[in-house]
Structure 1
């Protein structure tokens, strides 16, 4: 299958699905040896795949775990630039569907050496370079309904749908 990602000149678009997994008061993030920050589990939606199918596939690929979706938590339209790594110099535009996953009651260990799972306590999120940086605040408010978040010029606008 083909990821729904494309580049045009100095711009990159990506349609992705991401997981919000909370176990024992901590939020699951991923990291890898090439990055100095943490990011949510998930990845690109593939052609012919729903965002729900994508997140279940991505969780299994990245962690070896089977999770169930609780509900769609928010949609994030993110405009950003990265100064390092494989996206350096690109104007990035991502649309991400963030799904709250049903808790299993315990944290799981890393599954792969390429990417590792890091459990970041919700009450200590401000001590970590984790993106999106509004995630802990949004999750801790236990929002009802689906939120739409727009991030442009590092400013977040949170709207209700």
Structure 2
């Protein structure tokens, strides 16, 4: 079994993730599940010895069932938050590399994935214009998708309060 780049104990956790920004027809692809009341980015832990680019391609295939190609590294996100679900109350320091994926011109998904705790994940095409109407993480996504970018952005989010 692969080892995730993560350190987790009873009170604190560090996690290194790779996530995808997939946009088709004015919609962004987000994941959800039957336990959490929010949507989240498609992606997951980088394994030991794996590059973040390899990880994002693997995670997108595992979750969405489609082989998207990487366009470019878009965001390095430092995220501080308190865990939920199986990691409720844990202080997280998460570092995520967000990759913009090349559009494929279709929204056909075949993935069958589950969360770390075994809950079935579902994929959702959320219209970018309606992102502010739903609870979705990362919170910077709508603003990011509505503006022009050059290079890699560094975004810090602190939701521990």
Query: Do they fold alike, i.e. is TM over 0.5?
Result: yes
Corresponding residue number in structure 2 for 1:61: 62
Question: What does the per-residue CA deviation read over 1:94-116, in whole Å, with 9 as the maximum and x for residues that have no partner?
Answer: 00000000000121235227111
Instruction: Give yes or no for the alignment of 1:4 onto 2:10.
Output: no
Number of aligned residue pairs: 154
1:142–1:154 Cα change, 3 Å: farther
* 2:11–2:89 Cα contact (<8 Å) kept: yes
For residues 102 and 67 of structure 1, what CA distance do their matches in structure 2 show?
7
* 1:110–1:116 Cα contact (<8 Å) kept: no
SS of the residue corresponding to residue 79 of structure 1 reads strand
Question: What does the per-residue CA deviation read over 1:62-115, in whole Å, with 9 as the maximum and x for residues that have no partner?
Answer: 111001100000100000013x41121100110000000000012123522711
Tell me the TM-score normalized by structure 1.
0.90
For residues 8 and 88 of structure 1, what CA distance do their matches in structure 2 show?
12
Match of 1:142 among 148, 151, 154: 148
Kindly report structure 1 stretches of 4+ aligned residues shifted beyond 6 Å.
none
For residues 60 and 153 of structure 1, what CA distance do their matches in structure 2 show?
29
SS of the residue corresponding to residue 136 of structure 2 reads coil
For residues 150 and 160 of structure 2, what CA distance do their matches in structure 1 show?
25
Corresponding residue number in structure 2 for 1:15: 16
* 2:61–2:111 Cα contact (<8 Å) kept: no
Unaligned runs of 5+ in 1: 156-161
Tell me the TM-score normalized by structure 2.
0.90
Corresponding residue number in structure 1 for 2:157: 151
Corresponding residue number in structure 1 for 2:136: 130
User: Following TM superposition, by how much is the alpha carbon of 1:6 offset from its aligned partner in structure 2, in angstroms?
Assistant: 1.2
Unaligned runs of 5+ in 2: 114-119
